[in-house]
Each structure stands twice: as structure tokens, then as C-alpha cells.
Structure 1
Amino acid sequence: MPDLHPAAIAFRDPAALLDRCEIGGVRRVYGEPGYESGAVLPAGDWSPLSDDLPARYAPNIFTRDSGLVEFFRLPSTVTDLQSLTALVGELGDPFPVPLAATDDPPGEPVTHRLPESGLRPGLHIDNRQNLSYADCDGARRRLCVNLGPGGRHLLLVTTTIKSACRAVRDRYETHHPHTEDFWRFLGDRKRVSVLRIRIDPGEGWLAPTALLPYDESTEDEELPSATASWLGHWERGCFGPLI
């Protein structure tokens, strides 16, 4: 069964989403230094979203808070990492999970590195919660803030890992989804699209990264940028909407 709403993005103004979002395809890399063999990267064939696409990504009555992509701007009261950490602690999850901070140079097609190898997996899912197929809809969302000084992009595949598992696993109901399922899905010549959404300094996002393959990118940027991130169970609308 295909995903009816593979990527649910909260927005008020379709024009605002169109202004900061592009769409493209993906490519695989093999034997390239610094990358896992088979890593999935954006193809670089970016084009504007068509006017009808925002409606396809709009949430519906079945969209759970845990499955929603949201964008926000930090309030002016947040001036440093300490005040940001305090703010995250007040968003409704009493036990948010802090993740490793990043500081990425400009010009990187993807930024995530595997801590055990230092290699980049490319577009991937965050399976640190090790949830089953049935449970990954309720996974903690990732909250990530761009601390600057440069801009960056969030990369989101529009096909969920659950859709990939249904296509490549005979017993997907008891399977624990992994990035390798996404790779197998692509290996079966399935086509996917990836969104590239601009995140300026002082802005951030929440996304179900255990469900949607993702990464970040500093490609086409001139300055480095740092991030701070957490995992948590947060209701929709804990920040005012950015778009």
C-alpha cells in the first residue's frame, strides 16, 4: 500500500514553502572517499516545486504530531546554546535527548557522519531508537537549530521508510527499519524524490527522521554553520510557524 501522505509539512502560506524549497532526484556513490559504499546523495538536479505540490505535502486529519515536519524561528530571548537548551527543556518533553553538535564547512552535499567510521551514509534514517515497523510512526522527532553563521538546507526524502520496507521485506510487520532498507528499495529501481529546504541562521526544524530518510547540506553556501539537535516527543505547534 503506498504512502498516502509520505511527507506531511506544516505551512500556512504555500508561497512561503515554494520560496524556500526545491525538489530533485538522488544518486548512489560507490568507492568515493569519505562516503559509505552505496551512499545516497542528492542528484543535484534541483528544480522549483510546482504550484500544486505544497497541497500534496499538507497534513490531513490522520497526520500524527510525531509524523509532522515543522519549521520555526528561534525567539529573540534565545541568545546562546545555554538559553536554547533551557528552551528545549520547556517544550513539553521532560526528557529530551541531546545529540552531538555539528560544525560543518560550506560546500558539503550531505553533512552527517557515522560516529563509528567517520564516513557519510548520505540520506539515511535515524534508527537510534531501534523501533519496529509498527512503532516507528511514534518515534521521537528530531529538533535541529541552525546556529550559523552560514545557511544550510534540510534534505527530506518524500517516501517513508515504511513504504520501502513493504516493498523489500517479506515480513515487514516485525522488521526494524534501517537505512539498508532504503538502499534495497533504490536497488529495485524504485524512484524517489528529495526536498531541499533552506534553513537560515536562527531557524530550525522538527521532523520524523526515524520515518523519512534525511540529511542536511551546506552545498552552495559560502560560510560554515553549526547545529544543535535533540530528540523528543513534542506536540505540533510548540513553536510559532515559520512559513
Structure 2
Amino acid sequence: MVRTVNGDPTLEDGAVVPSGQWQPLSEAAAQALTAPPWTMPSMLVEIVRPPALTGENLEDLAQQMGDEEAQYLGLALAEPGVITNTDNYQDGRRIGLHLDNWDKLNYGQKRTGRRRLSLNSGPGSRYIPLGSLDAQAVCRAVHPENYAYR
């Protein structure tokens, strides 16, 4: 469940954020969100337990994940204990739930973008929002005029 925020000085007006505390998935919900085996890798979000760090550099972790094309892109620090982490670089307020566009691709080409690995190396839990709509369906619903079918 989500809600829209207005008037919160830490969040952009109109930001969509989780309503209430993050909750773990039930076994039934996890099963319902499991992609079928024929799903293309570029369409997946995967949650994996990384290999234990043994004092190695973070740059080395990408090589251990089994993808010879993986590249270390850098480290981002996020404030703990907030409901969403991404800041609007112009005013510092958090933007809420969103679809990243790291490769600056148009809506119809997002499936060709690079996959990212995010690793929580700090204390405490981090959470990832999951939903039953695929990202392309969200793009078509929010900006149908920009969606190029190919």
C-alpha cells in the first residue's frame, strides 16, 4: 500500500511513499511475485545473498557475482531509517518511489538497460518495494504519450 505526500518538508510534494511500516513478504505473496522461468533476465529483479566480504574492495564484488560483464560503478551512501532514499539533487527532498533511469532510455527501450546490483553493507535492514505490475505497464499508464512500442 502506498500514499501520496504533500506538505512534508523532507519529501517532494506528490511523492508516492509506502503507507505504514515496511512489512516482510508472506510466502504466498513471494510466490505470486516470482517470475516465470521464461522471463528474460533484463526484466527481472533478483534478491540474492552476496558472498561474504573478506576485506576485499567493493570493486572485486562485481567479479564474484558470476557475470563477466559486471562493472563496479561506485558507492552511494543512504540515510538509515527513512522510507525512501533517493534525493532530488536540486533541493535535497526525497522523491519517493520511482523507476530509475540510469541509462536515460526512452520508455520502450528500458528493457535494454543495464541491471544494477545494490548491496546493503551497513547496519540494519534495507527493503525493496515489489509489485505485481511490470515496469513497462507503469510507464504506459503514467506517460502513454511517450511510450514507443517496438
Q: With the length of structure 1 as denominator, give the TM-score of the two structures.
A: 0.52
Aligned ranges for residues 122-141 of structure 1 at < 5 Å?
Answer: 122-141=96-115
1:117 aligns with 2:53: no
TM-superposed CA distance for 1:46, in Å, is 5.9
Aligned ranges for residues 209-224 of structure 1 at < 5 Å?
Answer: none
TM-superposed CA distance for 1:128, in Å, is 2.4
Alpha carbons 2:62, 2:72 under 8 Å: kept = no
TM-superposed CA distance for 1:29, in Å, is 0.6
Q: Which moved more, 1:124-133 or 1:162-171?
A: 162-171
Structure 1 distance, partners of 2:30, 2:124, is 26
Alpha carbons 2:12, 2:95 under 8 Å: kept = yes
Q: What residue identity is the alignment partner of 1:74?
A: P
TM-superposed CA distance for 1:26, in Å, is 0.2
Could you tell me which residue of structure 2 aligns to residue 28 of structure 1? 4
**Over residues 136-175 of structure 1, what are the superposed CA-to-partner deviations in whole Å (9 max), with x where a residue is unaligned?**
1222122111112222222234323321232344434339
Structure 2 distance, partners of 1:50, 1:149, is 24
Could you tell me which residue of structure 1 aligns to residue 29 of structure 2? 53
1:39 aligns with 2:39: no
Q: CA RMSD in A?
A: 2.7
**Over residues 74-109 of structure 1, what are the superposed CA-to-partner deviations in whole Å (9 max), with x where a residue is unaligned?**
323x23461x3112145425462514421423x311
The match for 1:92 among 34, 43, 67 is: 67
SS of equivalent residue, structure 1 residue 156:
coil
Could you tell me which residue of structure 1 aligns to residue 117 of structure 2? 143
Q: What residue identity is the alignment partner of 1:127?
A: N
1:167 aligns with 2:149: no
Could you tell me which residue of structure 2 aligns to residue 212 of structure 1? none
Structure 1 distance, partners of 2:59, 2:21, is 37
Structure 1 distance, partners of 2:130, 2:138, is 15
Q: What residue identity is the alignment partner of 1:37?
A: D
Could you tell me which residue of structure 1 aligns to residue 49 of structure 2? 73
Structure 2 distance, partners of 1:108, 1:35, is 11
Q: What residue identity is the alignment partner of 2:47?
A: F
Contiguous gaps of at least 5 residues in structure 2: none
Identity of aligned residues (%): 34
Q: Return closer, same or farther for 1:56/1:145 CA change in 2, 3 Å cut-off.
A: same
TM-superposed CA distance for 1:63, in Å, is 0.8
The match for 1:155 among 129, 133, 141 is: 129
Aligned ranges for residues 174-189 of structure 1 at < 5 Å?
Answer: 174=148
Matched positions, count: 148
